[in-house]
Each structure stands twice: as structure tokens, then as C-alpha cells.
Amino acid sequence: MPPVPADRRYAVWLSDPGFAAAEIARGIGYGAAVLDIEHGAFDLADLERFVPFLRSLGLEVLAKVLGPERGPIQQALDFGADAVVIPHVENAAHAKAVTAFAKFPPLGDRSFAGGRTTAYGGFTDEWVAEQDRRTRCLPMIEDAGALEDVAEILALDTVDGVFVGPSDLSLRRERGAYTRAEGDFADLRRVADAARAAGKPWVLPAWSRAEKEFALRHGAGQLALTMQHGALAAGLTAAFEETAALQESTAAE
Amino acid sequence: MPPVPADRRYAVWLSDPGFAAAEIARGIGYGAAVLDIEHGAFDLADLERFVPFLRSLGLEVLAKVLGPERGPIQQALDFGADAVVIPHVENAAHAKAVTAFAKFPPLGDRSFAGGRTTAYGGFTDEWVAEQDRRTRCLPMIEDAGALEDVAEILALDTVDGVFVGPSDLSLRRERGAYTRAEGDFADLRRVADAARAAGKPWVLPAWSRAEKEFALRHGAGQLALTMQHGALAAGLTAAFEETAALQESTAAE
Amino acid sequence: MPPVPADRRYAVWLSDPGFAAAEIARGIGYGAAVLDIEHGAFDLADLERFVPFLRSLGLEVLAKVLGPERGPIQQALDFGADAVVIPHVENAAHAKAVTAFAKFPPLGDRSFAGGRTTAYGGFTDEWVAEQDRRTRCLPMIEDAGALEDVAEILALDTVDGVFVGPSDLSLRRERGAYTRAEGDFADLRRVADAARAAGKPWVLPAWSRAEKEFALRHGAGQLALTMQHGALAAGLTAAFEETAALQESTAAE
Amino acid sequence: MPPVPADRRYAVWLSDPGFAAAEIARGIGYGAAVLDIEHGAFDLADLERFVPFLRSLGLEVLAKVLGPERGPIQQALDFGADAVVIPHVENAAHAKAVTAFAKFPPLGDRSFAGGRTTAYGGFTDEWVAEQDRRTRCLPMIEDAGALEDVAEILALDTVDGVFVGPSDLSLRRERGAYTRAEGDFADLRRVADAARAAGKPWVLPAWSRAEKEFALRHGAGQLALTMQHGALAAGLTAAFEETAALQESTAAE
Amino acid sequence: MPPVPADRRYAVWLSDPGFAAAEIARGIGYGAAVLDIEHGAFDLADLERFVPFLRSLGLEVLAKVLGPERGPIQQALDFGADAVVIPHVENAAHAKAVTAFAKFPPLGDRSFAGGRTTAYGGFTDEWVAEQDRRTRCLPMIEDAGALEDVAEILALDTVDGVFVGPSDLSLRRERGAYTRAEGDFADLRRVADAARAAGKPWVLPAWSRAEKEFALRHGAGQLALTMQHGALAAGLTAAFEETAALQESTAAE
Amino acid sequence: MPPVPADRRYAVWLSDPGFAAAEIARGIGYGAAVLDIEHGAFDLADLERFVPFLRSLGLEVLAKVLGPERGPIQQALDFGADAVVIPHVENAAHAKAVTAFAKFPPLGDRSFAGGRTTAYGGFTDEWVAEQDRRTRCLPMIEDAGALEDVAEILALDTVDGVFVGPSDLSLRRERGAYTRAEGDFADLRRVADAARAAGKPWVLPAWSRAEKEFALRHGAGQLALTMQHGALAAGLTAAFEETAALQESTAAE
């Protein structure tokens, strides 16, 4: 139905399961959605419904799960997410342990569940291979230890790329609150270089123009362009300011 | 907590019970919220929670109810709405019948319920008088018959003002889809004049600059400045276009 | 499991679908629950779950529906309610029209739905007769016109008893806010007499000792003893006052 | 994704907004879904999500709304339903009044709402014409008066076909509970003949083999083949009986 | 009310909190329900309501919790589950640690909460003993290490039986996707033998005839006979195929 | 609006997100609410709404989270809780590890999320410092090891006070079910002494008069006076007993 093609490089960052927000984003041309399950308000029954809806709209679903644990990783994949983004990976050893939950044995340790992903039927060895190949596992680089080990993490065969968390990285690299400064971009460059060397993509939440430009220039596989809340605030502010200005000019007449 | 004062003349138009959307709007300076219960997705349990939350933020709550019937009018007031906006009022007789559900006997025919509005206790004659005075009843002017009878409707003692629905009015006044044309503003002027004559406010959803300006110049009591979905679309579009332009200029280097 | 027998004369008045509240009430000995769907927050999916749960606890379910209309009456019965309580019945003619929605043709005009009430299967003439007999239809006496016509209403074969709404009755009988005064009890007596004459039960929400006593003495079939919110307020107040007194005496030492 | 083509003649009858049930039905080849909003448990927020999901799966959505009233008809169409099925239409005059809520002026009296159906933007005269043409309005033939007037109802330009309710029709045509008897099929034939004469489709819930055969032979436009609950019961029974038989034969060894 | 006795050996496998599904299963004769909280969509508020409802229907509740952790185990028991089924137990040491969350000190390390299980009152030493005895703890045998240690696990006094996960076991025993082959049944036999030796029950999800037969012959304490989704798919397929065949034969005439 | 001042020393203990319960408590004078997320039924979307509502009423929010883990601690703070109460802290080392999730680096290891706490915008070093200072972290003293280490726990700079769990403490200190006996008060005294020595508050759930008195005399910073369910049970019981007595005396006449 939507005439605008979906560009999967450009993702919208969602904090709740808003069906209308997803339709609006898809109508503009966004081709992916990052679900901030970690900090947002996604209950299980909502997630179970939202993930297939997003996919049916033609949006790739990146589920940033609650934590580096089996349960949340497994559920996002059971519900049909295209990728799991795993926060607070501490280092290569931790990455090895937790990314395993995203891939089936013998590659990893994901648990099997018949349901949406098997079209509500049984499974075969081919299906197992296809799931492991098709769904992506993206550990986050937001802890100092993960940045140190980024090459080693990218080398894991349970890892399909990395996703940067610049705010937490700034705090944990002892630069305090994130200011998009020199040091921040140096860290991002390190991730970008490691990703290119590994031949795997890296993903960046890029709210500012500077971050967007950096991501584009350094070959980020995907960018989250704006948060649902940030976009709403921008739109509400514009309408408010237009009216306040009109009010002033009208009153001045 | 919010340092920005709330200006109750400026309303945000909400299509679902988004707590974050309300906080964002209030943070910008909006002082009222129109809940589009008629066309949106407000279930009862959500409404029962959302109305007091909006009020606690300092937002005046205008509940545009499901229809010109006892149930929806009564529930919105039970849950604590400051005003009920009643759609599809057909003419003065209809207005007299349905606006009665918003005021207690002997003035009208609202049903009493002990709960939020009585601080979960009983009630007195003073409370009845105070509720009838404090909560406002705003029939909509969106049917041709209601426009004809606007003065009579405004004269009813169960009516505290009117709320215009320009899209439905255009369709029902045989102008087809709403184009913000001459005829539309002529109708709005008629409402504004009647309201001024009656000494009661009129309210306008004013998405465009032209409507905002008209409302300000013609003494509208309140304006809905933008829809939640429209504001979100504007914000998402801006981020998308900024990135697309950057992508092009980057690729061109 | 509960060792205390359920006394169906004593009902608890619920304003939301609280499973724990129902279990607590049943554990004390309450044998019926009035669901205030009219003024409370009962969405459909919640109601569909709450009604069979109440029944499984051994509580009789009296659904005070949203309004005197087909939809709400029919849904409460579809979901398994034992009785529908119909608010704002205006007079005998109105009662005849709206109580029909609670009984199948040829007695009335209820719509058939295969589901919970048919054990998820088809239906027979015997089932129709049994449903009409087993489920009760209780129009409310809370409008002046309904009180005038109470005998005629009780005579309808679609009516199994009446349910009084004393607050609205006081307002509509021009006594203002309900004060449990002479005039109020005179009206109640009129209802009680008519019910006894018709050989059908009457039901009273009886928050105060005076109302409880009146209901017991005048043969009410069932009494709602307290509202969920009122009971909670009483319990919270007791704990607060005990502590405040202790605080004072402790500080005084 | 689903390799099986969707056949829109074959509908599944859903009683709750089960996303998995819809996926399963679509995977089998069902091409339409009847939502029994009248007797089922569809809250607004669920409906707002379920309708677009069904459509994204390639299922045509027939919303059997709560009642013959403006609110429920309008909301189903606002949320994106392909068709509204209107229960308890009493006769041609009633049909004329209530089917008007499904079409915009000047054809009918539907209320406009910017949202999903307008891709979250404004509207034009072309859009109005396209909505009126694309969404279908199907009054139910389940009251004796509606059957009498079926030709007149089908002749209305706000009506795109009819939907039969055989259980209620049997009760209201004084045949008692529906037994799929001679008289029932005679009524269905009357509807089928009128539909063919009018050149508009008729739709039948056809649980039994006899009804399915009748519908196919008499050119029904669409059939609802089974209820979600009936299908579940059939599947659960089969597994139970297989096990019980095994248990017996095992014990007998 | 249900005339069919409930046979607790036969369980239905539920993937969401469907009240109707539970009633249907109970009506057929199922006497237990396995809630697949691990892979399904059970939010807390739903679970809090669904568990007591299932029990009130006479169904034994086996809660297969989200993971081998304190929180999910404790909540299922707080809400009134009869048994907790603990997935992904890795070996005997792990079993000892995590099954402790299902029993109170000094036996284990379950946390106390006044609520449903204490009839909303306080507790005594007798209640503690009775809870530990009445509620069952069933670690899953689905990891290779757990199968190795099955006898040791069954010997734990915090363990009341075991529950097999054949699909994950096949993957983790390096047989790839589960095909109900020789090796699979050899593993099941090992579990059955260990359970018999320990005098504690074992439970099997037994979708196929072969598994059902195996379970019955090898003395499984309980069997899950079919999944909610599988049963629904079977029922929907049957109706679809019947119609397609009729359509063909009708068309051929 | 509420004329009664809120006394933050007196907390109500809530087991579900009841907006009316909160309003009632606030109206009485309660100034804080303990949310029993650990044993209650608080889903994420409900919590995201309930926390800001409680704060807007003027209630301090103490979120007793699901467990001593990053996810639940972080979410409660993201949603705006004033304090996190962390159950099942085992000893000082454990306390050091898990209380870190409540404070940002370099003090701890909390993860940053732009949203409610940042007014939906970015963050600064000042904001980080202010959040760490303003939100409180209260590990629970309910394990024997935690009681042993109470002084050491109170000395941690990520700890702002302690919260006692007397029932679990009794079970884990080998006194069996909690009976408010000598040994119990001895443990409480130990906590109170340590807190006074550390200059940090301690908090007690104090259902009985004895506990309330103890807490007041020993300088507890806050007391939870009653559980929502306990208060409701008290109120429902009073109404039931009043009626039963009246019934008896009436019958005896």
C-alpha cells in the first residue's frame, strides 16, 4: 500500500508499542524500528503483537532487550524480531556467553519454541540453520570493557554486528554526560574501524546532525534517526511556537 | 515541577492515552488536552487513569466523547474531566436533550456516582451546584442543523460554550472535503459571532496557520494547535529529510 | 476451599475488576457482587474474564450495565452474569422496551450468541427457556417516572425484581442530594411494598446502618453492604489514625 | 511470506483479538475474518491494533459491530475495517437510518476523522468517494422485519450486501432455537434470491456441512467456515479422545 | 457445573491467558494446564488473574516459568500455581540452587508474601509446611547436563518430579531438530527409569501418537496432549478442507 | 486540591496499580507508597503510568523491585520512582554489586535513558549528580547474611538507607513463621541501631500496633502502615459484621 519505499538503513527508535507511530514512520520511508525494551514500556503481550505488525508493514525489527539474559533475548526472537540488540555486554567473555542465547545449538544455546517462527508447526535442521542465519545478534558497545574487546566480540560467530550506546559509553569511559565531543567520536571511530575489519555492520543512534553525518561517513549499517518522544516534542513545539508568535503579532495590531 | 507556565488557551489533541505525550505537551506550555474519544482508542480503564493524570499535570481535560449519549458523557465526568465535548448534535432540541446528561437535576439529568469527583465519599447540595458550575458542557457545531441553531444552543443553561468540527461541517454543509475555504471561514465567523453574543466561549481545532490566526483574531476561548499524530509525523519527517539530504551530500563528495 | 459459606443476600459493590477484592469478599462470606459497569471502569475483555471468575468463587453476579440499551445488557449476559441491573429506566413503557433485551424471543428480544453460556456449543429450546428463567433482569428505580410506575414495571414478565438507586432518586424526586431522610425512606417503602405485592425481590445499596436496617426489616432480597472504595477508605483510615495517635503518645513521653 | 494464497470467500469467525489465531488462519488459506465485536471481547485499543494487523496479513476484515449505532460503525471504519456488519437492523427504514453512518455525506452521515484511513493526513473529495466505494456496509438479516424488507434494504445505496444471522432469525421467525431445518433454509433462499436480484453479495456463517453446501450452491459471496472457539474445541477434543483410546488399549494389554 | 470429570493426568498446553480456551479444555475433560510462560505471552497482571481462574475450574496449574530464577518462580507460586516447571536447568548443582526458590526456609529459599496463598492474611509454621508439600517443583530435563544428572536431580528434597523438554534435549544432545527418533526415546526412557526409581513423577509434552503411547506405557505422571495453537490449527484446517472439497464437488456438478 | 497535608513518614503498601487506591490514601494523609512489584502484579506499561501519577498526587514512590538485578532497578528509576527497595540482598558484597545499578558511573553502574527523568531531553553532569542524590537506594534486610553485614551495607555510598523484611528475616533466621516475638524485635533493634549509627534511615512494614510503636520509638524514617489488601479486608469485614448483627437483632424481634 505505501508508495514510499522502505529504507532499512534508517530506523525509528520506539519507546512504546504504538501502532500508529509505526505506520507514520513507515509512511515516511523509515525501514527499521529499534524497540527500546530496556528502558521503555513493552509488556510481553504487547510485544507479541507489535513485532509481527512491524514486520508486516515492512519494517525490520531490532529488539533492544531488557538485559543480557536468556529470557528477554529468547522471547524477542520467539515473537519474530529480526535482530536482538543486547545491552550491557561487559567484555568478550560476557559477549560469548550471552550472545549464545540468540543462536541454536550447536552454534549457541537458544531454546526452541514452536510458534510464530515455525508457522505454528514443528521444525527441521534446515529451519534451525535458516533462523540462525536470518536473525541477527547485535551486542551493544556501551561498557568500557566491551569497547576494549570490540574486535574480539565482532569475531564471535554468534555475533552479526554491534550496536553502540554512546551515552552509557561516555559515562563509563569517564567522560561524564555525553556531549558529542572529540573523545566520543574517537570511540565511535574505533567501533567503525573494527566493524569494517570484521566485515560486519555497526549501528548508531544518531540524534544530532553531527552523529548522522559521522555514521554516514563511517559506513554505519543502520542509523536510528530520532526517538519517538523526541520527534513528538519537536512537532508539538513547532505548533506551540507558531501560535505564540501569531498571538503576539495579533495582539500587537 | 515544570517551570513553564501552562496556558489553558492552547490545547493538544490526543488520540490515545499516552502519559509521555501529555508530559511532553505540558513541558512545552500547553495547558489543555482534547481527548478524541470519539475517533481514538480510549478504553474505559485507560480513561479512568488518564484523566486524573492530565489534571495532576495541570492540563485542563476536554473529553470529546463517543457520541451524544448518556453513558459516554457521564463516564467522562465521573472520571474527572473538566469539560465534555459532545459530537454530532443535530439541532437545538437535540442539544437540549443530550447536554442535560452533563448537569445534575434539576438543571439536567446527569446520574450521580460516588467516586473520584466526591473524593470517594458522599455528596451535598453544594457539591452538586459546584460540579454543575465547574465542569463545562460543549456541544459540537459540526452538523448543518446545529449551525443553524447555534444561537439557541448557546442559550441553553446546560451549555457552557461550543466546539467546532470544521471537517464534518464542510461535508454536511455540502462543500465536500474541508479545504479551509471562504465558506468554511464564513461558518466559523457565524459561530464566533454567536458565542460573543452569548458571552460563552467557542473552541476550534486549528491545525493550519490560517485557522490559528482566525481563532486568535475572533476570540476563540481555546485552540487545539496540533494532533498528537500530526506532531509526531512532522518530527519524524524532519529527521528523515535531514538524513536523506546528508546522505546525498556525503555520497556526492 | 473457602470454609465460610457464601450468603447471597449480602453483596459487595465493585468499581473495577479486582480479582483479589473478589476473593477477599468471598472469604468473608459475601455471596454476591454488584458490578458498577455504569460508573466504574470495566472494559469488555476484563468483564469477559471477571464474570466467570466471580461465579467460580461462588459469588452471584449482578451486572449494573452501562445504560438501558441492547449492547451492554446482552454482553453482560453473554459473559455469564446471573443478573442485569438496568439503570435509568424512565417509566413502564421504557422498562418494557429495554428489559426485553434480557430475554429471548418470544418473551423478549435478546440476541443469541454461542459461547460461554452454551458451553461453546449450539443451543436448544430448553436452553432458551432455562436461560430466561435462570438469569434475572432488574430494572432500576431511580427516576421519578419509574417510581410512579413501579407496580406496572414489576408486573412485566421480562422483569424479575427491581434495584433501587437512592441517590439519583433523591435528585430526581426534587429532594436534592441524598440525605437518608424521611422522604427517601418513604420512597423505599413504596418500592418494598410494590415488590412484596408482586412477589418479586427488591435490592438496595445500603451503605449506612439506617439503610441496612431498613432493608432487612422490609424484606429486601439482597443488600449491597459497602463499596470497594468505601471499604478501602475505612481500612486505610483506621491504620492511619492508629499510627497518628501512637505517634502523639510516643512524642508526648 | 505465506505461500498459500488467501481466498477471501472463506472467512474465520473471531471472538477475540488473537494475533496468533489470525496468523494460523491466514497460513491455512482463509482470506477474511469476521470480528464478532457484538458478542465477543474486543476493546477499542485492541481493535485499533487488530484491524490493521489482519489487513497486513492479507485478510479482509468484516467488523460485526456492537449495535446499529453511529459510534461502533464509525470506529470500525476509522480503525481500517474493510466492511461493517450491522446487527439487529429491524426493517428498511431502520436500515436506511443506520447504514448511513457507514458512508460520508452527501451519500450518508459518517463522521470524518483524520488518522489511519487518511495515512494520518488530511482528506480530499476523491478520498471521500474512494472510502465510500472501497469500504462495504452489510446490514444483518436476523430480524423478521429485515427479512420482509430484504429487497428494499438491498436497494439502498448505502448498502453493499447483506449478512445473515440464522440463529436470531430462527428465534424471531418463531421457529425457536436454530435447527438448520426446512424453514431456516427457506429463509436463506429468500435472502440469496434477493441478493442475486440486487446484484449484491450475501454472506453466511456456515458451521455445518449443510450450511456450507447451501451457501456454495446459492452463490454466497463469503462464508464464515468456523468459529475460533469451535475450531479450538474440535482440536482439543481430537487430542483428548486419541489419548483416552490409547490409554484404554494400553491398559488392556 | 461441568458434568465431565477432570482428569489431571491430561494437560492442555496454553500459550496465552485465554479464559475461553481454559473453559473449553475443562469441558472436554482436561484436568491440568501447562502455562508456557517461558515462550508465550503471559504478563504479570494476566497471570495473577488466570491462575486462580484455572484452579477454580478444577484445572491443576503447571507454570512453566520464564527462567531458572527467583523472580519468575516465586511469582507463579504467589499467584497460586500448583506447580512450577523450571526450564534450562543445567545440572544437579544448578537444580539444587534454583529449585530452592520454590520451597521456604529451612528447606529452600522461597520468599514469603501475604496474599492469595494466605487468604490475604498472615502465616504460620503449619502453613509453611503445607505450602512446601502442596506445591510441586518440577525442574526440566532439556539440557544434556540435566539428563546426565537426572537421578541426582530427582533425589533433591526440593524436587517433586521432572518435566521433559524433548525439542531442546534433541538439539542439546547433538541430534539436531527433534524427529521423535530412536535416540529421543532412549533419552525419555532414561528419564522414566530414573523417575520410577526415585518414586517421583515425570511429565511429557506428547503431541504425537508415538509420544502419547510412550508416555502412557512408561508411567508418565502427566502428559500435555496438545498445544492451544496446534489444536486451533487442526480445527481451522478441518473446516477449510471440508469447504474446499465441497466447493470442488459443487463446481463439478 | 487535597486539603490534608501528605506525611511522607506514613506509607501505604500497594499490590497493584490502583489509581483510586492511591487517591484515597493521599486524601487521608498518607505521603508515600511502597509498590510491591516483587510479589504484586505490576506490568511495565502500568508501572510507567502509575509512578508519575503517584508523584503528581504528592506521594513519594518506593519501588520494591522484582529482584536484585539491573533491569528492574533501572526501570523503576527510569519511570520516575523516588526510591528503589531491593529485595533479597544476601550480604555486603552482594549489596555493593546490586546497589550499583541505582547510581550512575562513576559512583555506580546505572544505565542512562533519556525520557521522563530528563524531561524527554538530553542530560548533563549536573543532572547525573542530582539524580544520584535525589533518588534513594534501599537494600532490604531480610536475609540472615544481610543482617550480619547491616553496618557494612549502610556504609556503602550507593546505599541511602535500609528496608526491613520481617517475615523473610524470621524464616531465614530460623525462627519459622513471623510471630512478632522477642527475637524479631531484637533483629529490628539491630537494624535501627546500625541505621542511627550510619546516619541513614531505616524503613519498616508495620502492620500491627506493636510494630508501629516499635518503629516510632526507634526512629524509623518511614513506616508502611497497612497493605491495600489488608485495609480492604478490614473495611469489608466491618460492613459484613454490622449487617450480620443487625440481621440477628432484627430477626430476634
CB contact at 8 A, C178 and C167 = yes
Closest residue on chain C to F12 (Cα):
C236
Is there a contact between D38 and C69 (Cβ–Cβ < 8 Å)? no
In Å, what is the CA distance from B242 to each residue of A185, B17, C8, C141? 20, 30, 67, 64
Q: Determine contact, residues C25/C2, Cβ cutoff 8 Å.
A: no
CA nearest to F16 within chain E: E45
Residue-wise pLDDT for C21-57, tens only, equals 999 999 999 999 999 999 999 999 999 999 999 999 9
Distance from CA of B63 to the nearest CA of D (A): 15
Closest by Cβ to C19, choosing from E23, E24, E48? E48
Work out the minimum CA distance from C27 to partner chain E, whole angstroms: 8
Could you tell me which chain F residue has the CA closest to the CA of B3? F119
Percent of chain C surpassing pLDDT 70: 99
State yes or no: pLDDT of F252 exceeds 90: no
C205: which residues sit within 8 A by CB, 6+ positions away?
Answer: C13, C34, C164, C165, C166, C211, C223, C224
CB-based contact A15 F115, cutoff 8 Å:
yes
Residues of A in contact with E91 (CB under 8 A): none
- Name the one residue in this structure whose C-alpha cell is 531531553: F121
Predicted local distance difference test score (pLDDT) of residue A1 = 47
Query: Are A238 and B243 a contacting pair at CB < 8 A?
Result: no
**Among F171, F159, F174, CA closest to F84:** F159
**Rg of chain B over CA atoms, in angstroms?**
20
pLDDT for D148 equals 98
Task: Give F164-200 pLDDT, tens digit per residue.
Answer: 999 999 999 999 999 999 999 999 999 999 999 999 9
pLDDT at E174: 95
Phi, psi of C156 (to 5 degrees): -65, 140
Q: What percent of chain E has pLDDT over 70?
A: 99
pLDDT above 70 (res C2) = no
What residue in F sits closest to C235 (Cα-Cα)?
F231
CB contacts, 8 Å: D56 with chain A: 53, 56-57
Provide, as residue numbers in chain C, all residues whose Cβ is less than 8 Å from the Cβ of B71: 38, 66-67, 69, 72
Q: Do E44 and F43 touch (CB under 8 A)?
A: yes
Number of A/D CB contacts below 8 angstroms equals: 38
Smallest CA-to-CA distance from F30 within F7, F47, F51 is with F7
Nearest residue in chain B measured CA to CA from C36: B113
Interacting residues of C207 by C-beta distance below 8 A, sequence separation 6+: C225, C226, C227, C230
pLDDT at B189 over 90: yes
Region E177-190 average pLDDT = 97
Residue F227, classed as helix, strand or coil, is strand
Q: Assess whether pLDDT exceeds 70 at residue F2.
A: no
Cβ contact, residue pair A112, E87, below 8 Å:
no
The answer to whether the Cβ–Cβ distance between F120 and B48 falls below 8 Å is: no
Residue A133 confidence (pLDDT)? 97
The residue of C19, C43, C50 whose CB has the most chain E CBs within 10 angstroms, and thus the best one to mutate to test that interface, is C19
Chain D closest CA to A24's CA: distance in Å?
7
Q: Do B71 and C16 touch (CB under 8 A)?
A: no
Band of pLDDT at residue E1, cut at 50, 70 and 90: very low
The 10s digit of each residue's pLDDT in E99-109 is 999 999 999 99
Closest CA to D209 of E238, E246, C120: E246
Residue A100 zone, left/alpha/beta (φ > 0; ψ -120 to 50; rest)? alpha
| Tens digit of each residue's pLDDT (9 = 90 or more) over B197-246 | 999 999 999 999 999 999 999 999 999 999 999 999 999 999 999 999 99
Tally D–E CB contacts below 8 A.
Answer: 115
Q: Which of F18, F235, F247 sits opposite C231 (nearest CB)?
A: F235
pLDDT digits 0-9 by tens, D138-196: 999 999 999 999 999 999 999 999 999 999 999 999 999 999 999 999 999 999 999 99
Place of cell 479486608: F233
E10-26 tens-digit pLDDT: 999 999 999 999 999 99
Which has more confidence, B103 or D2?
B103
Q: Which chains touch E (3 or more CB pairs under 8 A)?
A: A, C, D, F
- Cβ separation of F234 and C234 shorter than 8 Å? yes
Q: Considering CB atoms only, which of E29, E229, E239 is closest to D20?
A: E229
What Rg value do the Cα atoms of chain E yield, rounded?
Answer: 20
Query: Testing the interface with E: which of F38, F39, F167 to mutate, by most E Cβ within 10 A?
Result: F39
Q: Are D17 and D40 in contact (CB under 8 A)?
A: no
For testing contact with chain A, the best of B8, B42, B216, B240 (most A CBs within 10 A): B240
Does D24 reach chain A within 8 Å, measured CB to CB? yes
- Domain extents in chain D: 7-252
Contacts of residue F142 in chain E, CB cutoff 8 Å?
111
Question: DSSP alpha helices (H): ranges in B100-174?
Answer: 125-134, 144-148, 150-155, 166-172
Contact at CB, A111 and E41, closer than 8 angstroms: no
Whether residue B1 has pLDDT greater than 70? no
Residue D163 per-residue DSSP state: E
Query: In the predicted model, what is the mean pLDDT of residues F106-121?
Result: 95
- Mean pLDDT, rounded, for F157-163: 98
What letter does residue D67 receive in the DSSP assignment?
S
- Name residues 203-222 of chain B within 8 A of A (Cβ): 209, 212-213, 216-217
E chain contacts of residue C53, beta-carbon cutoff 8 Å: 49, 52-53, 56
pLDDT at D107 over 50: yes
In E35-74, the residues whose Cβ lies within 8 Å of chain A are: 36, 38-39, 41-43, 46, 66-67, 69, 72
Q: Do B168 and D111 touch (CB under 8 A)?
A: yes
Task: Tell me how far apart the alpha carbons of residues B228 and B18 are, in angstroms, rounded to a whole number.
Answer: 9
Is F225 near chain C, with CB under 8 Å? yes
Whether chain A lies against chain C with 3 or more Cβ pairs closer than 8 A is no
The Cα of D70 is separated from the nearest Cα of chain E by a number of Å equal to 30
Give dist(CA C129, CA C125) in Å, integer.
6
Grid cell of C165 as nine digits: 438507586
Distance from CA of F208 to the nearest CA of C (A): 9
- Residue pair E133/E126 in contact by the 8 Å Cβ criterion: no
Please say if the pLDDT value at position D86 is more than 90: yes
Indicate whether F118 pLDDT > 50.
Answer: yes
Put simply, the answer to whether B48 touches C67 (Cβ < 8 Å) is: no
Q: What is the pLDDT of residue F1?
A: 47
What is the ipTM metric for this complex? Answer: 0.96
- Looking at chain F, which subunits does it touch, using at least 3 CB pairs closer than 8 Å as the criterion? A, B, C, E
For residue E121, pLDDT over 60 is answered with yes
C199 touches chain B (CB under 8 A): no
Contact E53 C52 (CB under 8 A): yes
Backbone angles phi, psi at A56, to 5 degrees: -70, -25
Interacting residues of F59 by C-beta distance below 8 A, sequence separation 6+: F6, F22, F25, F26, F30, F31, F32, F33
Q: How far apart are CA F142 and CA F152, in angstroms?
A: 15
For residues B16-35, give the mean pLDDT. 97
Instruction: Provide the mean pLDDT of chain D.
Output: 96
Answer CATH for A7-252 from 3.30.70.360, 3.40.50.970, 3.20.20.60, 3.40.190.10:
3.20.20.60
Which residue, among F243, F247, F250, would best test binding to C if mutated, counting the most C CBs under 10 Å from its CB?
A: F243
Q: In which residue ranges of chain A is pLDDT below 70? A: 1-2
D18 touches chain A (CB under 8 A): no
Q: Which residue of E has its CA nearest to F17?
A: E45
| Phi, psi angles (nearest 5°) of residue D14 | -110, 140
Decide if F177 touches E, using CB distance below 8 A. Answer: yes
The pLDDT value recorded for residue F251 is 84
Q: Which pLDDT value is given to residue F253?
A: 75
Residues 6+ apart with CB under 8 A from A239: B225, B226, B231
Spell out a b/e string for B40-61, using b for 16 or more CB atoms within 10 Å of the CB, else e: bbbbbbbbbbbbbbbbbbbbbb
Min mean pLDDT across A64-68, D1-5, F117-121 is at: D1-5
Cβ of D20 within 8 Å of Cβ of A116? The answer is yes
Interface contacts B/D by beta carbons within 8 Å: 66
Residue D230 and residue D205 in contact, taking contact as beta carbons nearer than 8 Å: no
Contact in structure between C21 and C46 (CB atoms under 8 Å): no
The CA distance from D75 to the nearest CA of chain B, in Å, is: 6
- pLDDT tens digits, one per residue of B72-83: 999 999 999 999
Q: How many CB atoms lie under 10 A from the CB of residue A125?
A: 13
Say whether D236 and E217 touch across the interface (CB within 8 A).
Answer: no
Residue-level pLDDT at D251 = 84
